[in-house]
C-alpha cells in the first residue's frame, strides 16, 4: 500500500528519494478527489509540467499549480513522467499464471503482474484449446465483471478491456505454438455456440483464407466485436476480400503470417505486404526486441504510422518471472516452453512460443529502436484504446478521461500505476 501521512509542510516538499508520497488531508469531504501533483504530464505530443485533478475515477482538470482543498488526497510525483496507462490488447499470462488456467486467482495474478508494469487495461487472450476450456474461461471472466459491477474486478490490477479470442479458427500451416488438434474453419453458428453467451468478448482472431470468414466478420461486427486477422497463410488477394468484409486489424505483425512466396517464378504477396498496403488495417507489434528486431519495428512504425500500430506483449505466464521452463496455455492442456534470452521458445528452439514482454519493456524497446518516446507511448495507449473503441475515455490524459496512469522514472521504469484514480502499484511501498 502507498504511504499515507499527514502533511507537515507545503505539499511538494517531500524527499525525492521515493517514487511518490501520498498526503491525506482528512475531512468530512471524503477521499473521492486526488491531485497528482508536480509531474511531467504527457499530453499526446510532448510533456508539460502540470498537476492532474481526478474526481471519482475521472480526470477533471489538468493545470499547473492546482491547489488542493481540504479532504483532497495529494500524490507528489517529484517531477516524474505521468503517462496514460498502457492498454495491452493481446496478453495470455504473466506472474506464473495463464488466463487459460480458468480461475479467478489466475486472472488476478496476471492483471496484478501487468499493472506493476504500467498496464491499466488489458484483454485476456485465449489459446486454441477444447471448447469447454475456452467457454469455461469466458464464464469466469463474465462472472468477475458482473460481480465487480464493471471492468475492474481487482483493486491492485489492470482493468479487463474485453476478451481476445485467438483460436480455434486459425490456419494449421501458421499455427505456431497453438494446438493444431483443435483448429477448424469458422462459421457464424460456431461463433454463436462458443461466444454467443459472453458479452465480454472484444476481439476475435480468424485466418482470413478459411471458408466462412466473411459471414463471421458480419456476425462479429453486429455485436461490436473487432474481427482480427492472424495465424494465416493468406495471399494479399484473400486479405483484400477479408477487408472488404469488415476486417480491420492484424495480430502480432510478422509472426505466424505469410509473406511473399513464389509460384512458378511469380511473386505472390501475402499477409505482411497486405498489412503495409491497406491503410484501414491496424497491426500489432510485439515490441520485445526479439519478435521484431529494432529495424523491423522502426520500419513498421514508419510505414504504418503511429496511429495504426498497437504495441502488445503477447505475454505468457513466464512474463515477470525468472527464465526457465514454463507452461504455455493452461496447466491441463498447455505445453512446456523454454524461456531464455528474453523470449519464450518451442522446446526444440525451432521458433518462438509467445513472449515474456511487458508494456514498459515495449516502450523502452521502441525508444531503443529510435522511435520517439511520444510515438512509443501513443502506440502503447492511445492506438490500442482506439482499436477497442475506448478512444473517448482511455489512452490519453485529457479532461473527462478515465484516471488511468503510469508514472515513469528517468529509466522509463514504472514507479506507480493508477487505475480509476486509485493506486494499483507503488514501487516506493515495495508492492
- For 4-84+396-429, the fitting CATH number among 3.60.15.10, 2.40.128.90, 2.30.40.10, 3.30.70.260 is 2.30.40.10
| Contact in structure between 300 and 285 (CB atoms under 8 Å) | yes
Mean pLDDT of all residues belonging to the chain: 91
**Which band of pLDDT confidence, cut at 50, 70 and 90, is reported for residue 431?**
low
Out of 255-269, 287-301, 329-343, which region has the weakest mean confidence (pLDDT)?
329-343
pLDDT digits (tens, 9 = 90+) for 122-168: 999 999 999 999 999 999 999 999 998 889 999 999 999 999 999 99
The average pLDDT across 256-267 equals: 94
Assess whether the region 4-84+396-429 and the region 86-387 belong to the same CATH fold.
no
Please tell me the distance from the alpha carbon of residue 284 to that of residue 203, in angstroms, as a whole number: 13
**Sign of torsion over alpha carbons 142, 145, 146, 150:** negative
Whether residue 360 is predicted with pLDDT greater than 90 in this model: the reply is yes
**Closest alpha carbon to 110 in 164, 168, 183:** 164
pLDDT digits (tens, 9 = 90+) for 215-233: 999 999 999 999 999 999 9
Whether residue 17 is predicted with pLDDT greater than 80 in this model: the reply is no
Annotated domain spans of the chain: 4-84+396-429, 86-387
Q: What is the percent of the chain where pLDDT is above 90?
A: 85
**Which band of pLDDT confidence, cut at 50, 70 and 90, is reported for residue 306?**
very high
Whether residue 186 is predicted with pLDDT greater than 60 in this model: the reply is yes
| Contact in structure between 284 and 251 (CB atoms under 8 Å) | yes
What single string gives the DSSP state of each residue in 154-194?
Answer: -TTS-EE--EEEE-SSS-GGG-TTS-GGG-----HHHHHHH
pLDDT digits (tens, 9 = 90+) for 174-185: 999 899 999 999
Q: Can you say how many angstroms the Cα of residue 392 is from the centroid of all Cα atoms in its chain?
A: 17
The average pLDDT across 392-415 equals: 98
pLDDT digits (tens, 9 = 90+) for 1-12: 233 223 322 333
pLDDT of residue 148: 87
pLDDT of residue 388: 97
Task: Estimate the crossing angle of helix 188-195 against helix 213-222, to 10 degrees.
Answer: 40
| Contact in structure between 214 and 234 (CB atoms under 8 Å) | no
pLDDT of residue 379: 98
The average pLDDT across 278-302 equals: 97
pLDDT of residue 20: 47
Stated pTM of the model: 0.93
**Which band of pLDDT confidence, cut at 50, 70 and 90, is reported for residue 430?**
low
Q: Does domain 86-387 have CATH number 3.40.50.720?
A: no
Please tell me the distance from the alpha carbon of residue 339 to that of residue 336, in angstroms, as a whole number: 10
Q: What is the percent of the chain where pLDDT is above 70?
A: 92
pLDDT of residue 31: 56
Residue 135's CB: how many other CB atoms inside 10 A?
Answer: 17
Amino acid at each position: 500500500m502507498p504511504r499515507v501521512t499527514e502533511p507537515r509542510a507545503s505539499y511538494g516538499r517531500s524527499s525525492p528519494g521515493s517514487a511518490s508520497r501520498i498526503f491525506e488531508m482528512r475531512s468530512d469531504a471524503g477521499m473521492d478527489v486526488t491531485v497528482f501533483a508536480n509531474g511531467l504530464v504527457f499530453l499526446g505530443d510532448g510533456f508539460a509540467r502540470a498537476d492532474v485533478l481526478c474526481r471519482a475515477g475521472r480526470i477533471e482538470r489538468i493545470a499547473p499549480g492546482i491547489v488542493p482543498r481540504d479532504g483532497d488526497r495529494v500524490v507528489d510525483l517529484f517531477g516524474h513522467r505521468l503517462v496514460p496507462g498502457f492498454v495491452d490488447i493481446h496478453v495470455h499470462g504473466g506472474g506464473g499464471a495463464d488466463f487459460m488456467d480458468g480461475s479467478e486467482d489466475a486472472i488476478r495474478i496476471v492483471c496484478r503482474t501487468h499493472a506493476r508494469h504500467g498496464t491499466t487495461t488489458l484483454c485476456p487472450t485465449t489459446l486454441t484449446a477444447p471448447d469447454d476450456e475456452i467457454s469455461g474461461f469466458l464464464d469466469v471472466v463474465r462472472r468477475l465483471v458482473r460481480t465487480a459491477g464493471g471492468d475492474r474486478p481487482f483493486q491492485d490490477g489492470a482493468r479487463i478491456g474485453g476478451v481476445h479470442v485467438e483460436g480455434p479458427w486459425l490456419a494449421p500451416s501458421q499455427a505456431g505454438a497453438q494446438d493444431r488438434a483443435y483448429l477448424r474453419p469458422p462459421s457464424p453458428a460456431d461463433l454463436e455456440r462458443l461466444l454467443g453467451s459472453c458479452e465480454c468478448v472484444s476481439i476475435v482472431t480468424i485466418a482470413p483464407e478459411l471458408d466462412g470468414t466473411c459471414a463471421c466478420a458480419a456476425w462479429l461486427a453486429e455485436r461490436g466485436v473487432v474481427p482480427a486477422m492472424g495465424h494465416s497463410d493468406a495471399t494479399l488477394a484473400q486479405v483484400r476480400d477479408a477487408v472488404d468484409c469488415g476486417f480491420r486489424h492484424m495480430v502480432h505483425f510478422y509472426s505466424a503470417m505469410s509473406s511473399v512466396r513464389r509460384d512458378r517464378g511469380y511473386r505472390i504477396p501475402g499477409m505482411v505486404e497486405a498489412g503495409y498496403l491497406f491503410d484501414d488495417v491496424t497491426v500489432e507489434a510485439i515490441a520485445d526486441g526479439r519478435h521484431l528486431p529494432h529495424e523491423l519495428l522502426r520500419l513498421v512504425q514508419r510505414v504504418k504510422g503511429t496511429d495504426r500500430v498497437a504495441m502488445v506483449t503477447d505475454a505468457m505466464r513466464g512474463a515477470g518471472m525468472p527464465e526457465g521452463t514454463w507452461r504455455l496455455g493452461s496447466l491441463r492442456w498447455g505445453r512446456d516452453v523454454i524461456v531464455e534470452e528474453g523470449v519464450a521458445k518451442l522446446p526444440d528452439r525451432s521458433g518462438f512460443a509467445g513472449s515474456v514482454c511487458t508494456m514498459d519493456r515495449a516502450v523502452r524497446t521502441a525508444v531503443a529502436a529510435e522511435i520517439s518516446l511520444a510515438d512509443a507511448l501513443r502506440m502503447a495507449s492511445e492506438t490500442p484504446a482506439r482499436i477497442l473503441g475506448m478512444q473517448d475515455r482511455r489512452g490519453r490524459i485529457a479532461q473527462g478521461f478515465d484516471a488511468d496512469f503510469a508514472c515513469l522514472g528517468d529509466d522509463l521504469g514504472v514507479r506507480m500505476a493508477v487505475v480509476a484514480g486509485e493506486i494499483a502499484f507503488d514501487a516506493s511501498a515495495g508492492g
